[in-house]
Amino acid sequence: TDSDGGKKSSQLTAGLLDVLDKCCQKVSEAYLQEQTATVGFTNLDSEDNTGDMLIDSCESINDMMEIRLLELSQAHDLIESVLSSLNDALLVIDLSGQIYSFNRAACQLLSIASENLLGMTFSDLLTGDDFKQIKEQMSQHDSLHDLFINVQTPEDELIPVLANFSRQEKYKDRIIAVM
């Protein structure tokens, strides 16, 4: 659900900020130890404000990371909203057929609950050697258009669909299937 996604994003953001804060603390400590060793500081409360400057830098980095994480979270929410509103079924799979992502329309077309679809492979949904043929063609082309395939529901009903396949630009081992 949307609220679950929001909670997960918030938890992820909070976790990343904790990690960043700990990293900044470790860097600060290591830097101060290095400065103490190389310059011979015995009193870090002296007039040298290196420690304060480093802490300020970490706080600035932390602020920038918070802003970036918020932007990423908002972009993720927008993409999820667009994908969920599509009427076309969308699956993201890898070259072995493992399903990584999908939208609501895919669940409806396939008559499969989202929690069950995530653990399946694309070949589980096809008949015969269809996936093998798609995989072979995708190894030679970046996309396939208007390919008729039969998708099999859990009730063994065959649904003929017109499908398009394309590789994700950034992750060449991922394929987007739109039906």
Q: What is the pLDDT of residues 15-67, one digit of tens each?
A: 545 555 555 556 556 555 655 554 444 444 545 566 666 667 677 777 788 88
Q: For residue 51, give every residue at least 6 positions away whose Cβ sits within 8 Å of its Cβ, in sequence order, or none.
A: 28, 32, 44
* Phi/psi at 37 (5° precision): -70, -45
Q: What whole-number distance in Å separates Cα of residue 144 and Cα of residue 83?
A: 21
Q: What is the pLDDT of residue 2?
A: 46
Q: Is residue 13's pLDDT more than 50?
A: no
Name the DSSP letter for residue 126. B
Q: What is the pLDDT of residue 167?
A: 85
Other beta carbons within 10 angstroms of residue 52's beta carbon come to 9
Q: Is residue 171's pLDDT more than 50?
A: yes
Q: Is residue 70's pLDDT more than 60?
A: yes
Q: What is the pLDDT of residue 12?
A: 46
Q: What is the pLDDT of residue 62?
A: 78
Q: What is the pLDDT of residue 31?
A: 56
Q: What is the pLDDT of residues 111-140, one digit of tens each?
A: 999 899 988 999 899 988 888 888 888 888
- Residue 99's nearest CA partner among 88, 81, 112, 86 is 112
